Amino acid sequence: MIDRDAIRAAAARIAPHIRRTPLLRLAPGELGPDLGLAHGLVLKLELLQASGSFKPRGAFNTMLAGPLPAAGVIAASGGNHGAAVAYAARALGVAAEIFVPEITGAAKRARIAGYGARLVVGGAAYDEARQASERRAAETGALQVHAYDQATVLAGQGTVALEWSEDAPELTHVLVATGGGGLIGGMAAWYAGSGTQVISVESEGCPTLAMALREGRPVAAPVGGLAADSLGARQVGALGFAVAQRHVAAAVLVPDAAILAAQRLLWEAARLVAEPGGATALAALLCGAWVAPAGARGGASIGVVVCGGNCEPGSVAG
Amino acid sequence: MIDRDAIRAAAARIAPHIRRTPLLRLAPGELGPDLGLAHGLVLKLELLQASGSFKPRGAFNTMLAGPLPAAGVIAASGGNHGAAVAYAARALGVAAEIFVPEITGAAKRARIAGYGARLVVGGAAYDEARQASERRAAETGALQVHAYDQATVLAGQGTVALEWSEDAPELTHVLVATGGGGLIGGMAAWYAGSGTQVISVESEGCPTLAMALREGRPVAAPVGGLAADSLGARQVGALGFAVAQRHVAAAVLVPDAAILAAQRLLWEAARLVAEPGGATALAALLCGAWVAPAGARGGASIGVVVCGGNCEPGSVAG
């Protein structure tokens, strides 16, 4: 199980390479007087992280945790993880091969290639790309960086919580979007046993963690809807699930309409461009999928991770 | 002359209403390895301020500095100032009339009206709208909030520098875009006599302060180019000019191409959507209009205000 020491070690390792992302504090009325939120919000602006999402934290930690092979690194991802590994490889001066599925769009391919990685189209869907990347890694000896189910990845993503607990120790609840479980696993491991509860938010189209918690084990889940490109893991990772089962206070689902509303609100109220997965945590407050406990409403202090901004910027305007 | 006491008083007055905007620290290579910047940057994210620019600081300070008349407030502006006054009036529960010129686009009109202000089209260009607003204020007794040339406005905008000097005391130089002189005047008044030099950046299309400094007095300047909607004051204000003449270290001009490049870079490297005027200060570093002094390059610590984000978000993509 990932613990605070592993996350502290990750933070020290990655500090020269990642941005300590800032917070934006919003008073109750600032997201619009009609929302009726009884509490202010503390947004963690992880969308301003290098490469546009939190993913470089885990990528750098994995690449710096041991000696890097001469063959460099390899990853499978059509999205934020691929961009983050390519970014980290460039920063550390090693080669990267990123295997993407055919469905990956031109903009995301261009970003990965723009960081200097070798882009390989590895099959029709993510699973084929992943298998192709594993075969290639066996040939070359490159270090595989998993998108979520790897201890160094969880520890890296957990540094979001470490920074937040230092910069906003008053938080009673933090809302986090869940895809494959790397971010929520790392964050819940940090906050475990503290006064801060971690709430998982998923889109109804990608209910990976909610289904696993209900079944008591990781199970295959649907992958669809607006946030599928960043939250659409077929199955939650074993490591993240083990943490979430013990340390996540609630796992809620939100409809695509609430995600879109959250994207538009972040733009209207704070000039932030969040991709659908990046706006998913906030969506839970907008649609009431999660409400601060009645007793805590007055005293609750709510944090929301805005975890990515890799979308067409024009897509957030109403 | 505005002084630190006036700015401290403004900060105390407006604190319940404005956002203490966060900083984003970028290492030398993070804006792109090819830029050749020898120093890191500390961005002040004033584009995340309520209403999308720094303008509510001066608006709130003006409205809270004395008793508000029953007739509320009145302002002339087709852009960020009008939105800020409308926002502040809603927050304080008073009526606002905003006079806009005919050239003000539908999106900006909608934003001003969306904050609940009464929108009045006051003539073909800004000067006519301003004159119409002054006639109306004489009739109603409403408090006029000037877009820049008012002592309470300068003191309010100066709080950007107060926050920054607390949060990043190491800065040796700060780059600030200049329009009518409210922001640069307030900021230069704060930093006067400190170890931090203030650099004014204007677009070549709106060289208001640069021309005034050359002539030794405020003079009419051209209004054109990409940033005219936010930086296009015909003539720098007397108050801001008086401060700038004594306390601004340099006033440089940048071409529109550099402003566009800065907008694209802020999006690519940090997922920030800056309007042209909001990206103008950074543009000076990109095109070399301003370069840190040779002796200081190693030890220089450069701050850049990203002062507004009120544009179509899709306009920043390359």
pLDDT at B34 over 70: no
Question: In this predicted structure, what is the pLDDT of residue A197?
Answer: 97
Contacts of B309 in chain A (CB under 8 A): 271
Task: Please write the tens of the pLDDT for every residue from B143-152.
Answer: 999 999 999 9
B256 with B172, same domain: the answer is yes
Contacts of A48 in chain B (CB under 8 A): 24, 270-272
B189 with B122, same domain: the answer is no
- Binned at pLDDT 50, 70 and 90, residue B39 comes out as confident
Contact between chains at A271 and B314 (C-beta distance less than 8 A): no
More confident residue, A63 or A106: A63
Total structural domains within chain A: 2
Task: Please write the tens of the pLDDT for every residue from A40-66.
Answer: 899 999 999 999 999 999 999 999 999
Own/partner pairs, A97-102, CB within 8 angstroms, 24+ separation: A97/A72, A97/A73, A97/A133, A97/A136, A97/A140, A97/A142, A98/A74, A99/A74, A99/A75, A99/A129, A99/A130, A99/A132, A99/A133, A99/A136, A100/A76, A100/A129, A101/A125, A101/A126, A101/A128, A101/A129
Estimate to the nearest angstrom the gap between the alpha carbon of B59 and the chain centroid: 12
Which range of residues forms the domain containing residue A160? 4-53+152-317
Mind giving me the DSSP string for A145-201? Answer: --SS-SHHHHHHHTHHHHHHHHH-TT-SEEEEE-SSSHHHHHHHHHHTTSS-EEEEE
Task: Please write the tens of the pLDDT for every residue from B293-317.
Answer: 876 545 679 999 999 999 999 999 8
Question: In this predicted structure, what is the pLDDT of residue B53?
Answer: 97
Rounded to an integer, what distance in angstroms lies between the CA atom of residue B230 and that of residue B281? Answer: 13
Q: Single out the residue in B148, B176, B207 at which a domain terminates.
A: B148
Q: Which of residues 246-305 of A touch B (CB under 8 A)?
A: 267, 269-273
A18 with A35, same domain: the answer is yes
Contact between chains at B313 and A273 (C-beta distance less than 8 A): yes
Contact between chains at A271 and B29 (C-beta distance less than 8 A): no
Q: Which of residues 148-177 of A touch B (CB under 8 A)?
A: none
The encoded tokens of residue A132 equal: 């192709």
**Average pLDDT in chain B:** 93
Of B21, B24, B52, the CB nearest to A48: B24
Helix (H) or strand (E) holding B257: helix B256-270
Task: Please write the tens of the pLDDT for every residue from B116-155.
Answer: 999 999 888 888 899 999 999 999 999 999 999 999 999 9
Contact between chains at B310 and A271 (C-beta distance less than 8 A): yes
Contacts of A52 in chain B (CB under 8 A): 271
User: How many other CB atoms are found less than 10 A from the CB of residue B172?
Assistant: 16
Task: Check if A19 contacts B (Cβ < 8 Å).
Answer: yes
Contact between chains at B48 and A24 (C-beta distance less than 8 A): yes
Answer for the pair A147, A233: CB distance below 8 angstroms, yes or no: yes
Contact between chains at B22 and A23 (C-beta distance less than 8 A): yes
Question: In this predicted structure, what is the pLDDT of residue B298?
Answer: 55
* First-to-last C-alpha distance (Å) of chain B: 43
From residue B136, give the alpha-carbon distance in Å to each of B79, B117, B153, B311: 19, 15, 21, 29
Q: Single out the residue in A102, A131, A148 at which a domain terminates.
A: A148
Contact between chains at A312 and B310 (C-beta distance less than 8 A): no
Of A270, A273, A315, the CB nearest to B271: A273
A159 with A203, same domain: the answer is yes
Q: What is the CA radius of gyration of chain A?
A: 18
Residue matched to tokens 């936010």:
B230
Q: Single out the residue in B148, B172, B204 at which a domain terminates.
A: B148
Contacts of B24 in chain A (CB under 8 A): 19, 21-22, 48
Rounded to an integer, what distance in angstroms lies between the CA atom of residue A149 and that of residue B278? Answer: 40
Contacts of B51 in chain A (CB under 8 A): none
Task: Please write the tens of the pLDDT for every residue from A66-96.
Answer: 999 999 999 999 789 999 999 999 999 999 9
A117 with A184, same domain: the answer is no
Question: In this predicted structure, what is the pLDDT of residue B71?
Answer: 96
Helix (H) or strand (E) holding A26: strand A23-26
Residue of B nearest to A87 (CA): B30
pLDDT at B180 over 70: yes
pLDDT at A296 over 60: no
- How big is the A-B interface in CB pairs under 8 Å? 68
Contacts of B271 in chain A (CB under 8 A): 47-48, 52, 273, 309-310
Alpha carbon of A52: minimum distance to chain B alpha carbons (Å): 6
B266 with B185, same domain: the answer is yes
Alpha carbon of B213: minimum distance to chain A alpha carbons (Å): 34
Contact between chains at A22 and B29 (C-beta distance less than 8 A): no
Of B16, B30, B313, the CB nearest to A267: B313
Of A19, A52, A317, the CB nearest to B312: A317
Question: In this predicted structure, what is the pLDDT of residue A104?
Answer: 83
Q: Which of residues 82-141 of B touch A (CB under 8 A)?
A: 90-91
Question: In this predicted structure, what is the pLDDT of residue B107?
Answer: 79
Read off the CATH number of the domain in which B19 is found.
3.40.50.1100
Rounded to an integer, what distance in angstroms lies between the CA atom of residue A270 and that of residue A276? Answer: 16
Q: Which phi and psi (to 5°) does residue B76 adopt?
A: -115, 125
Alpha carbon of A55: minimum distance to chain B alpha carbons (Å): 14
A132 with A162, same domain: the answer is no
Of B19, B271, B316, the CB nearest to A48: B271
Of B25, B33, B314, the CB nearest to A312: B314
Contact between chains at B271 and A312 (C-beta distance less than 8 A): no
A180 with A309, same domain: the answer is yes
Of B91, B271, B313, the CB nearest to A52: B271
A157 with A80, same domain: the answer is no
B93 Ramachandran zone, left/alpha/beta (phi>0; psi -120 to 50): left
B95 with B213, same domain: the answer is no
**Average pLDDT in chain A:** 93
Alpha carbon of A213: minimum distance to chain B alpha carbons (Å): 34
Among A20, A271, A275, A315, pick the best mutation site for testing chain B contact (most B Cβ within 10 A): A271
B192 with B300, same domain: the answer is yes
A130 with A63, same domain: the answer is yes
* Global confidence as pTM: 0.96
pLDDT at A237 over 90: yes
Answer for the pair A197, A173: CB distance below 8 angstroms, yes or no: yes
